Chain A
Amino acid sequence: DTGVSQNPRHKITKRGQNVTFRCDPISEHNRLYWYRQTLGQGPEFLTYFQNEAQLEKSRLLSDRFSAERPKGSFSTLEIQRTEQGDSAMYLCASSLGGYDNEQFFGPGTRLTVL
């Protein structure tokens, strides 16, 4: 499968714990995006990487959130001291850039904070 993959698919954690999600983009895609989707809403932009450089972060991304993309390949999103409000689907997308910059989404990681 050459699409965007995300792991784990589901994560249940207790409030206050740290969690980390991984995204593997489509090979050779230099752009990588993280979005968050809550029930009944459209995805909301969190952050963007061009290769290994994190170029933009949404104000939705509090200081408890950190994202990395070492070597410009896979990316990780870590949430420290999780809160119940962090419960959501975390989506990763990658693209080649270009005129239309078509973004291909992964299946997401469903986070439930108890």
Chain B
Amino acid sequence: QQQVKQSPQSLIVQKGGISIINCAYENTAFDYFPWYQQFPGKGPALLIAIRPDVSEKKEGRFTISFNKSAKQFSLHIMDSQPGDSATYFCAASISAGGTSYGKLTFGQGTILTVHP
């Protein structure tokens, strides 16, 4: 069962442009939504995360927008740079506790290519 759906599968953006990646989730018990960045041959690295009590969170060029009623959240990368070229994963978890233990459920990933 795919609980977190991510789109698009791939994205090509020009340097300086805005990259937008979208995710939708099904389980309303999810309460923590991180985005991970993964370069080839490396493990995923946390980029930014949000909880459903806020609608937006910004860190540098990276912004998460969150729509609780629609069960959707998105990552915006402003002023995209060639160094941002990587695979991006959204994820969701239920706060560690109970029987969930904070395990992450990932989306399928988006391959971002930023052309110079």
A contact residues vs B (CB 8 Å cutoff)? 4, 31, 33, 35, 40-45, 48, 50, 55-56, 91, 93, 95, 97-108
Contacts and interface: CB of A to CB of B under 8 A. Distances in A.
Interface residues of B, number: 27
Interface of B: 4, 6, 32, 34, 36, 41-46, 49, 89, 91, 93, 95-96, 99, 101-109
B49 A100 contact: yes
Contacts of B34: 102
A2 to B, nearest CB: 15
A99 B93 CA distance: 12
Given A31-B96, A56-B103, A91-B43, 5 more contacts: A42-B4, A55-B101, A97-B102, A98-B96, A100-B49
